[in-house]
Structure 1
Amino acid sequence: MTISRNITAGILSSSIFLAAVGLLWLPARGNPGQLDVCPANRAGFKAPKRNVWAGISEHEANDVYDFLVKEWADLNVTRTPRTAYENFIFTVEALSPNKSDVLPFLWEDSKEPERWAKVVLSRNTEEKPQLIYHAVGPLPVSEATQVVPLTHPFSSGRNYVTNLMADFVGSLDFSLALAENVSDITTELLDAKVNRKNPYDPNSLQVFPRFTRQEPGLLIAWIQFFRPGMGSSGRTLLPQGIYVRVDATSANVSDWVVGDWFYNGVMYANVDEFRRAMRSPDFLKTPPNVDGPWTDTEDFDAKPDGRQLPPPVSIQPYGPRYKLDKAEGYMSWFGFEFYLTSTQATGVSLFDVRFKGERVMYELSLQEALAHYAGDDPMAGGQEFLDTFFGMGTNAFELLPGYDCPGYADYLNTKLHRGGKTETLPNNICVFEFTSDHLLSRHTAQYSVTASRNTYLTVRSVSTVGNYDYTIDYIFYLDGAIEVKVRASGYIYGAFYANNPNKNEDEYGHRIHDALSSSMHDHVISFKADLDIAGSANDLVRLALEPTVISYPWDQPYVKERNTMHLKEYPVTEEAGLEWPKNSGEFYIVYSSDQKNAWGEKKGYRVVSGTGMGNTPHLSILNSTTLGNSARWAEKDIWVVRQKDIEPRGADPLNYLEPLEPLIDFTTIANSESLAHGDTDSEYDGDLVIYFNVGSHHIPHSGDIPNTLMHTSSSSVMFVPHNFADRDPSRESVQGVRLQLKGKKSGGFAGWDPEGDEPNEELRSRGKDKNGGKYEMHEGANYFGTPYAEDVQLPLAALEPDLPKEYRSEEIRVSDLGLNGSAAGVWMRNP
């Protein structure tokens, strides 16, 4: 039976559903009259207060642009640059308010914090082009609005960095001209040359630089050749083995100086020396790295058994069970409540996360995404990326319904204000509830079997930064647990495989094609969790499981001493970096300093390396030559520091341009300040922040060709309630069944004999609900929550969304991991 698109307006009955995809919803049995499938009432759902972290609207951005053009008239500032050397307003977005201003608004009904914009000015001078942060506010723009240098978030005391490459187009022209001048070399060694008239020529070469700040007054670019043309996504699988070093210190591209050349393990002082060596009879030539079907991500022709049938899919027949206020970015789901927003550098952030009305987190947000390579060639040997520079939010593009997210997910848009224009990124955040393939809990007893479905809520975005796609999930579980999970896919950034006597085989990766090495690298992705466990006053402890030898009186006289284990608590008393403990021998727990549960235990949340390929990593490289002080947060797994308004972030996207003297040096944040509090003389009130890393030590192999697979590159950190509640909170919300195998009365409770008389009053009382009523247990299926009790009807779009109609983007602007698309190279040939 064939189902075509022309019936999508109709409804599929369960019989058609069964014939089409081999699935059938069985009606629930044994609970007549229990079905209640009214969708959650979301029409009137509103956030309790305004989202003070929300992004700048297009109207606000236009007002800020107009204000600044007048305010900076002496600089001849333009909204949208027409040349590379104009002064222009690069970005406008919201400046996140101080926590000290927000908490009184949230919890004491104080006035709403002032709204300010954060602006990056691209100021170009002949000597020192700069990118400069300013704050504009209060908003809306009025006579009281002012523009001031934004300095308080930066440990450097500066609000600017030197722009490595103000003239991206100029650098591209320089590289292409250089390649044209050596077309005889590239034709001989690579059987290809650049095509400036048609950059999409599949037989043409590309050229890209890797810039390194060797010292404050020296900027070096290593330029490497790639193929094929600009139309290929597989460029990073196709590096070629020719490299040239350029002194790019001057802000004027015309003053750059071409230096050494590197080929097949040999350095040549200049191009003439390189040419002479090529004419030598003992010159060793390496094969070029050539494109072909091996870089294609799809195989439309293969027909293995089973591919002719569509796979199972998740559906949501009766609508969502969560509530969403899209206007304010506010959500509610089974006790969880939170706000969400998105920024250009870091993408989606969550704020004011509460569970069952209690405070859990003030902020949960991405800070930076680092990829650091190693290798024996000039490109891979020191290559690193700090991806917020290119924009994890700027490059969070539209999601594919039915693939990135279930077809029934809710979608939100974000807006970018750059170069005088507003760009809408449609449907680039999705929200959905999902039921796992494994249960939340289960138990088999003598006369019953109980199973609880594991459903969870996910907020998802995908950031495509050059060659890699990062799927970022914030996941919420029914017991109050929160998980941050990142999965990576896309093309690896390979290295040219030069088979020569100087090469150390497999020291930096594996050979994975004719002339391609896998190029080992670390992914270290930093997040911030500003925990407020039942309030802002918190403590971090290491709860250790330690072996011990102890004598017990009840062992005597047979066992004098017993080898066993016990718990020992070690308070973390000062700011520090921690690593995941050996053998999982310690629990890292953030406790409330003063709030306890019903049993007198401090309310807490455990911080634990979560689900994925293994423990989350920190950077393997010690004192990275390339990174300098720009990413010291990557040197440990977890950090605990004081919360300070002047330290809102652990990294800044412009650190990428000044790694030796970054705007934010994390060592000035985690600088061993005391975490002791409670004394009247202490200025610290116990408000702490956790920075944590996810990622992987990636040693790509043949299975990463053509694309890395998400299930082999996922990692996460979880925040798990630890004595936070009096008992498991999921019991109130979970959906499941108790299959009573024997007994027809009110039995099924612990200690009840189904063959005996009516249970005693103590056991009977355990079956009463809060209103004094009583659920009558019976043989068969006893459901907690509402089961499916009738045939399900759904449109075809619920199984397979109509992507040509639903996907709004016609062309996607992507970054090439050069300076294009970043703050340094926003100016294009056709703005």
Structure 2
Amino acid sequence: MMGSWKPTGIVVSALIIFSSIAYLLLSSTFINPIRHQHTSTTSSRHFRAPAINPFAELNDDEASEIYTFLQESPNSLNLSKDTRGGNQIYLIEVLRPNKTDAVDYLDNHKARPDRWARVSTLEVHSDDAFIVDHMVGPLPPSNDTQILPLTYLHNSGRDYVQSPVSDVFAMLDWALSIGENASDITQELLGATTNRDDLDDPDALVIGCRPSFLHSGRTVQWLEFFGSGMDSDSRSILPQGLYVKLDIPSANPATWKTGQWFYNGILYDNDTALREAIKSPDFVKLELNLDGSWTDTEDFGTSIPERDMPPPLSIQPYGPRYHLDRDQSYISWMGFSFYLATAQATALSLFDIRYNNTRLIYELGLQEALAHYAGVEPLQSGLEFLDTFFGMGSMMFSLVPGVDCPGHAEYLDMSYFKGGKMYTNRNAICVFEYTSDAPLQRHTSTFSATVSRNTYLVVRSVSTVGNYDYTIDYIFYLDGSIEVKLRASGYIFGAFHAEPRDRPDPHDEHTNEYGYRIHDALHTSMHDHVVNFKADLDICGTSNTLVRTSIEPLQRTYDWDKPEVSGVRNTMHMVHKPVTEETGLNWPSNSRDMYLVTAPGSTNKWGETRAYRIQPGTGMGNPAHLTILNSTTLGRSALWSASDLWVLKNHPDTEPGSAHHLNYLAPLEPLVDFEAMVDGESIDEEDLVVYFNLGSHHVPSSQDIPNTLMHTSASSVMFVPFNYFDHDVSRAVRQGVRIDRRREAQAQMSKKGESDKEEVRKSRVVRAEKETKDDEGVRYFGGRYEGPVSVSEEMLSPDLSHYMKERLDGQWKAVRNSVGGGLLGLFVGKEKGEDDGGRRMDW
């Protein structure tokens, strides 16, 4: 296979963390599972999905059979059994069926699509390493099973990217040796050194890095020293302000060398020059950025009476009203139904979303999560992350019952196969109904009031990628609306604040150009979060048109205004314009435009075209797109980030997504080039796909220490029925009350007359005290609580004694979260041997 390749000059010039590559390569063998006890109920014991889930991830048996088949049968992969060298399998997951085949199966009762797998291998040739995608199927393995290059999903036409690293451990050892060789410098300036021998040393330094230039096999990187943050996992806010430049002209370790050093705004030619400068009496040492209680996420010491009182909680004493088929990951609720599916890179997706058995959305799910920084020093000035590279799915860790989700939520696991093993993240997805603090509907008139509860269904997961925790909600409302909501928390990625130890540094016009000082030697770094999602909408079928309905000012003369208004009347009207070609769109100022996905061939009872509206949801304002134009580090790897949303002609079988997690390694020649997908095709009455972005322009302040708060970082997009139904369909399923005193008031008025109003008021008060719940003027619609209920302690305060534990050899033992991404990929820590003789890197 390699003989037919022509990987000439695969340019990799985006910001890549070389230990991100280490993470990718090591994870094929050394990632440990996070486990937690499985929580289940009997709420849907007899409920079954209408069909086997065609989107489901491979189970353990399927994946193991593929792994054995590839390892033991003769094939072109040339796999090695030596985990330290040769070609390796690092990923096996389901290759989801084409939309045409899946729809035939779900709608027309055709045969279930064949199961195929996506298999990624690491192939090492001399000093070069490649990550190669294959498709293997049909499954289970048999004489008919084929191993083919997986290219039809990539508009690059390739099935591989080049990895900048071929010997991971050599790279990591070298990075650590740089710290050791400069231990006199780090001790003098930072008061600490690296320590590869003591994994738990809280005073040791770790090393973070980012490439500033990659081209034709040459990599230039900047390293920075960080505090370990051992106790609180706070290393991303413990930069130390000392940097060193690395020149890596090839993958051969013999050619690697260190270059300039950077400290306090000054570039030194090498470590010798820095050592000489330190000896000078004029040398300025900077404040130290030391760990301490200020990085702790909890305050166990402060107590006030109100804090010691348990807060109000959501309860569900009669069990769930949704139905869940665990075997098929299928949910039904109040007219909605859909399948769940997970992937190692892109986490949780929803498929075949229907309302009253009519499909609204074929696929709704995450594509990529971008964080792009800016700053005044070598690391922050070009730092960026594409987090699916690290595994937004494999890092869906166990949710904390009663806190991440209400005590009455149900949980589903996330399993993935890597390095020959199946790992399971217990309780990685929660499902629950929730009643909002505000009504769905209400109205008060002279003698009546009607109010309806706003109860909705939530499917939630959290992906912890290094320093950030991304909470993603898929929310379903009683009126047929669907919301995708993103919240972020965790530690910011801080920049070093260069403050001389012997005098305060005066502020100037550049002081707050990239952020704000938030601690002794810590500055914030402005950055954009842009998280891309796919919505394959099928509104009344696959023949859809996007209509841009604008609300515009108008001057018009009306005959009925004369003679009082002699000229034009200033008013407003709507202007409807179909969007006829593929394009990117931004949320308009003053919300003046509505984006409607219409079904031109279908009208409601009133003759209006049925549609769903796409609009910003319940987050903090409009979601953001990337501020930076033509990002130097991103290259062509994430061009979907340039606008708020995109509408394209759907080619689901050849353009199934806007991104690929390996785009991170080939930014100038990505496997999936989004711009190539936006090629001017007509989108009038076509199968449409919408790619929309959530996120924000994050300029952290002192309130982000120690962690960013979720209510300040939320963003969402909603899909809302717009003339889709003949009326508000929530009326038939919502719960509430109507209180009508009209008849009573009329009777009292008739009997007593106007002069007795005060007596009427008094008699009503007395009557109300004696009245029972059968008051004829109070009518409830839907179920209600009519007496005391029994709520278990588990619902109010779930037992967490076995959280992050697995029962092994008859005992509950703690297991570790393999948290990666921004930290795992960035920070080079220490390494230690495992019981099986393998090597695991700790970061």
TM-score category, normalised to shorter length: 0.7 to 0.9
Q: Distance in 2 between matches of 1:575 and 1:538?
A: 13
Q: Read off the aligned partner of 1:521 and give its amino acid letter.
A: H
Alignment match, 1:812: 817
CA distance in 1, matches of 2:96, 2:140: 15
* 1-structure distance, mates of 2:547, 2:221: 46
- 2:132 corresponds to which residue? 132
**Which residue of 1 is the match for residue 627 of structure 2?**
620
Name the SS for the 2:172 alignment partner: helix
Structure 2 gap ranges (5+): 1-40, 500-504, 752-773, 807-813
C-alpha contact 1:608 1:719 (8 A) present in aligned 2: yes
Question: d(CA) in 1 for partners of 2:474 and 2:151?
Answer: 31
User: Which residue of 2 is the match for residue 646 of structure 1?
Assistant: 654
CA contact (8 A) 1:462 1:469 kept: yes
Q: Is the 8 A contact 1:76 1:87 kept in 2?
A: yes
**Shift of residue 112 of structure 1?**
1.5
1:1-20 aligned at under 5 Å gives the runs none
Whether the 8 Å CA contact 2:217–2:251 is kept in 1: the answer is no
1:232 CA drift (Å): 4.4
1:216–1:600 Cα change, 3 Å = farther
**Kept after mapping to 2: 8 A contact 1:742/1:754:** no
Q: Does 1:542 align with 2:548?
A: yes
The answer to whether the 8 A contact 1:200-1:231 is kept is: no
Contact 1:511–1:518 (CA<8 Å) still a contact in 2?
yes
Q: Does 1:354 align with 2:351?
A: no
Structure 2 counterparts to residues 700-715 of structure 1, below 5 A:
700-715=700-715
Deviation at 1:729, TM superposition (A): 0.7
Match of 2:584 in 1: 577
- 1:31 is aligned to none
Paired residues of 2:229 and 2:291 also in contact (CA < 8 A) = no
Relative to structure 1, is the Cα distance of residues 670 and 72 closer, same or farther in structure 2, using a 3 angstrom cutoff? farther
Deviation at 1:813, TM superposition (A): 1.3
Match of 1:290 in 2: 290
Aligned residues: 757
Paired residue secondary structure (2:245) = strand
Going from structure 1 to structure 2, the CA distance change for 1:789 and 1:821 (only over 3 Å counts) comes to farther
Provide the residue aligned with 1:760 in structure 2. Answer: none
Cα distance in 2 between the residues matched to 1:548 and 1:73: 70
The Cα of 1:42 is off from its aligned counterpart by 2.3
Indicate which of 64, 69, 91 corresponds to 1:62.
64
TM-score, with structure 1 as normaliser = 0.88
Match for residue 688 of structure 1? 688
Cα shift at 1:660: 1.3
Equivalence for 1:514: 520
Partners of 1:595 and 1:603 within 8 A in 2: yes
Distance 1:187 1:173, change over 3 A: same
The answer to whether the 8 Å contact 1:400/1:807 transfers is no
Question: Are 2:842 and 1:829 aligned?
Answer: no
Matches within 5 A, 1:11-50: 42-50=44-52
**d(CA) in 1 for partners of 2:178 and 2:826?**
23
2:788 to 788, 791, 805: 791
- Distance in 2 (CA, whole Å) between partners of 1:89 and 1:303 is 52
- Paired AA for residue 625 in structure 1: T
1:398 and 1:425 in contact (8 A); partners too: yes
The answer on whether the counterparts of 2:376 and 2:514 sit within 8 Å (CA) in structure 1 is yes
Indicate if the aligned counterparts of 1:739 and 1:781 stay in contact, CA closer than 8 A: yes
- Structure 1 residues 72, 225: CA separation in 2 closer, same or farther (over 3 Å shift)? farther
What corresponds to 2:259 in structure 1?
259
User: Secondary structure at the residue paired with 1:804?
Assistant: coil
CA deviation profile, 1:126-148 (whole Å, cap 9, x unmatched)? 23201000000011111111010
Using the aligned pairs only, state the percent identity: 51
SS at match of 1:124: strand
Change (3 A) 1:754 1:118: farther
Q: Is the 8 A contact 1:354 1:361 kept in 2?
A: yes
- C-alpha spacing 1:563/1:75, structure 2 compared with 1 (3 Å): closer
Equivalent residue for 1:801, pick from 785, 793, 798: 798
Structural RMSD (CA):
2.4
Could you report, residue by residue, the CA deviation over 1:287-323 in whole angstroms, capped at 9, with x for unpaired residues?
1210000000001110123011111111100000000
Deviates more, 1:216-225 or 1:411-420: 216-225
Aligned to 2:317: 317
Residue 385 of structure 1, CA deviation: 0.2
Give the 5 Å matches for 1:395-434.
Answer: 395-434=395-434
Q: Is the CA contact 1:294–1:706 (under 8 Å) kept in the aligned structure 2?
A: yes
Question: What code does the residue aligned with 2:591 have?
Answer: S
Provide the residue aligned with 2:664 in structure 1.
656
Give secondary structure in 2 for the equivalent of 1:690. Answer: strand
The verdict on how the C-alpha distance between 1:41 and 1:304 changes in structure 2, with shifts beyond 3 A counting, is closer
In the aligned structure 2, how far is the partner of 1:821 from the partner of 1:176?
A: 13
Q: Who is 2:305 aligned against?
A: 305
Give me the whole-angstrom Cα distance separating, in 2, the residues matched to 1:280 and 1:41.
74
Secondary structure of the residue aligned to 1:805 is coil
User: Take 1:497 and 1:174, find their aligned partners in 2: how far apart are those partners?
Assistant: 28
Task: Give 3-state SS (helix, strand or coil) of 1:139's partner.
Answer: coil
Counterpart of 1:367 in structure 2: which amino acid? Q
Q: 2: distance between equivalents of 1:592 and 1:49?
A: 27
Deviation at residue 485 of structure 1 after TM alignment: 0.3
Q: Distance in 1 between matches of 2:778 and 2:171?
A: 71
Deviation digits for residues 195-218 of structure 1, max 9, x if unmatched? Answer: 121032011111122134433443
Aligned 8 A contact 2:368 2:531 in 1: yes
- Partner of 1:179, secondary structure, is helix
Are the equivalent residues in 2 in contact too, given 1:126–1:251 (CA < 8 A)? Answer: no
TM-score, normalised to structure 2, is 0.87
Query: In the TM superposition, what is the alpha-carbon distance from 1:123 to its structure 2 partner?
Result: 0.7
What's the counterpart of residue 24 of structure 2? none
Give the stretch that moved more between structures: 352-361 or 549-558. 549-558
Q: Name the CA distance, whole Å, in 1 between partners of 2:315 and 2:601.
A: 44
| Mapping 1:655-674, distance limit 5 Å | 655-674=663-682
Aligned to 1:6: none
2:539 aligns with 533
Shift of the 41–190 alpha-carbon distance from structure 1 to 2, 3 Å rule, reads closer
Q: 1:754 to 1:455 in 2, by over 3 A?
A: farther
Give secondary structure in 2 for the equivalent of 1:60.
helix
- Aligned CA distance change for structure 1 residues 430 and 485 (closer, same or farther; 3 Å): same
Q: 1:719 Cα shift? A: 0.6
Within-5 A mapping of 1:424-823: 424-499=424-499, 504-559=510-565, 560-644=567-651, 645-677=653-685, 686-743=686-743, 779-805=776-802, 808=805, 810=814, 811-815=816-820, 817=822, 820=825
Mapped to 1, the partners of 2:457 and 2:164 lie a distance apart of 42
* Equivalent in the alignment of 1:767: none
Q: Deviations over 1:657-709 (max 9, x none)?
A: 111111111101112212134xxxxxxxx100000000010000000000000
Residue of structure 1 equivalent to 2:765: none
Give the Å deviation of 1:78. 4.0
Residue 806 of structure 1: CA displacement?
Answer: 5.4
Cα distance in 1 for residues equivalent to 2:540 and 2:399: 35
Shift of 1:587: 0.3
Q: Is the CA contact 1:464–1:814 (under 8 Å) kept in the aligned structure 2?
A: yes
The one-letter amino acid of 1:669's match is M
Gaps of 5+ in 1: 1-38, 678-685, 758-776
Correspondence for 2:15: none
Aligned equivalents of 1:620, 1:420: Cα separation in 2: 41
Partner secondary structure for residue 70 of structure 2: helix
1:278 deviates by 1.2
Report the CA distance shift for 1:249/1:340 in structure 2 as closer, same or farther (over 3 A). farther
CA deviation after TM superposition for structure 1 residue 40, in Å = 9.9
Q: Alpha-carbon deviation of 1:503?
A: 8.9
2-structure distance, mates of 1:517, 1:478: 45
Distance 1:257 1:818, change over 3 A: farther
Distance of 1:564 and 1:421 partners within structure 2 = 66
Tell me, what secondary structure is at the counterpart of 2:739? strand
Do 2:47 and 2:325's aligned partners in 1 also have CA atoms closer than 8 Å? yes
Equivalent residues of 1:588, 1:608 under 8 A apart: yes
The answer on whether the counterparts of 1:40 and 1:322 sit within 8 Å (CA) in structure 2 is no
Structure 2 contact 397–462 (Cα < 8 Å) conserved: yes
Determine if contact 1:213/1:660 at 8 Å carries over to the other structure. Answer: no
Instruction: Kindly indicate whether the alpha-carbon contact (under 8 Å) linking 1:390 and 1:821 is maintained by their aligned counterparts in 2.
Output: no
| Mean CA deviation greater in 411-420 or 803-812 | 803-812
